[in-house]
């Protein structure tokens, strides 16, 4: 496989992942962190870092909007729920293991 095709496939997979996460608003970031070790915010940070490596300046807010499909504050107001005690405990334990 040539490099261009590989890049196009990776970009398509990224777009599919972002679309999936936009549709699954029932899945909270803390759930993603507890189960997979990353969340939508991590993905937006990786996007911003990749842009910076290529000399493209993207703000945190813009990178989050690319991932969330809307301003982060709007997504939080519409979809973010307060973490349950169990979620918070699992998150604290996972951070201790990986932190």
pLDDT value of position 72? 96
Alpha-carbon span 59 to 89, nearest angstrom:
31
Report in angstroms the alpha-carbon separations of 67 from 71, 81, 85.
9, 18, 27
Per residue of the chain (99 residues), give pLDDT as tens. Answer: 999 999 999 999 999 999 999 999 999 999 999 999 999 999 999 999 999 999 999 999 999 999 999 999 999 999 999 988 888 888 888 775 554
Alpha-carbon span 75 to 57, nearest angstrom:
23
Domains of the chain, earliest start first? 40-77 (1.10.3340.10)
pLDDT value of position 97? 56
């Amino acid at each position: 496989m040539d490099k261009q095709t590989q890049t196009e496939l990776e970009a398509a997979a990224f777009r599919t992942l972002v679309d999936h996460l936009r549709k699954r608003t029932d899945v909270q970031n803390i759930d993603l962190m507890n189960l997979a070790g990353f969340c939508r915010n991590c993905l937006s940070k990786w996007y911003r870092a990749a842009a910076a490596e290529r000399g493209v300046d993207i703000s945190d807010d813009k990178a989050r909007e690319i991932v969330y499909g809307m301003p982060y504050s709007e997504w939080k107001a519409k979809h973010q729920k307060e973490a349950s005690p169990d979620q918070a405990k699992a998150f604290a334990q996972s951070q201790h293991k990986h932190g």
